[in-house]
Amino acid sequence: MRTSPNIIITGTPGVGKTTHCEQLASSTGLTHLNVNKVVKERDCEDGFDDELNSVIVDEDKLLDAIEPDLEAGGQIIDWHACDMFPQSLIDLVVVIRCNSTILYDRLKGRGYSDKKLDENMDAEIMEVLLQEARDSYDEEIVVELQSDDLDQIDENLERIQTWIENWKKDHAD
């Protein structure tokens, strides 16, 4: 049995996943599991999508690489997809959302190509990640949080921290 929960922080690129994960890891002692890094470090790449200018991930290999960590618990998973993780190992799915005008500026600032920018903007407007989360996990564990400004980050972090404390109390023996 896990004594610390596993949480997915997901959402369209640029919404603020890494910002949330880093701050949560430092305030709670949970581990920031940056999937982008794991993919590179554990050789889970399965080619390159030239059109989207992004790595194609071998999801089976990735899951094999992180499953022991998920079984141990206390992982904050930072990834722009969420449907590949086994339901039994996930306790909370946070879908970070962002106003499209703000997101556009953030992605433009990252130097994304027009195609990559359009794809990501469409994904946010069409709520692709929110739908993926709702399709993949029980409704009760999926939470949608807005991240347009710094105050919202603080509010979100407080909510998630309180949730973690309560989870730990509920699962203490």
Tell which positions 98-117 bind ligand DAT, by CB under 6 A: 106
Q: How far is the CB of 38 from ligand DAT (least distance, A)?
A: 14
Interface with ligand DAT includes 147 (CB under 6 A)? yes
Cα dihedral across residues 120, 161, 27, 7: positive or negative:
negative
Residue whose CB is less far from ligand DAT, 18 or 54: 18
Please, what is the minimum distance in Å from the beta carbon of residue 10 to ligand DAT? 9
CA distance 66 to 5: 15
CB of 172 to ligand DAT, least distance (A): 32
> Binding to ligand DAT by residue 160, rule CB under 6 A?
no
Q: What's the one-letter identity of residue 18?
A: T
Candidates 53-61, 82-90, 124-132, 148-156: pick the segment binding ligand DAT (CB under 6 A): 148-156
- Please give the Cα distance from 115 to 87 (Å, whole number): 32
Q: Of 19 and 136, which CB lies nearer to ligand DAT in the complex structure?
A: 19
Cβ neighbours for 152, distance < 8 A, ≥ 6 positions apart: 145, 146
Kindly tell me which of 112 and 137 has the beta carbon lying closer to ligand DAT: 112
Three-class HEC string of 92-144: EEEEEECCHHHHHHHHHHCCCCHHHHHHHHHHHHCCHHHHHHHHHCCHHHEEE
- List the interface residues with ligand DAT, window 14-53 (CB under 6 A): 14-19
Of the residues 149, 154, 158, 165, which one makes contact with ligand DAT according to CB under 6 A: 149
Chain Cα centroid distance, residue 109: 21
* Contacting positions for ligand DAT (CB under 6 A): 11, 13-19, 106, 147-150, 152-153
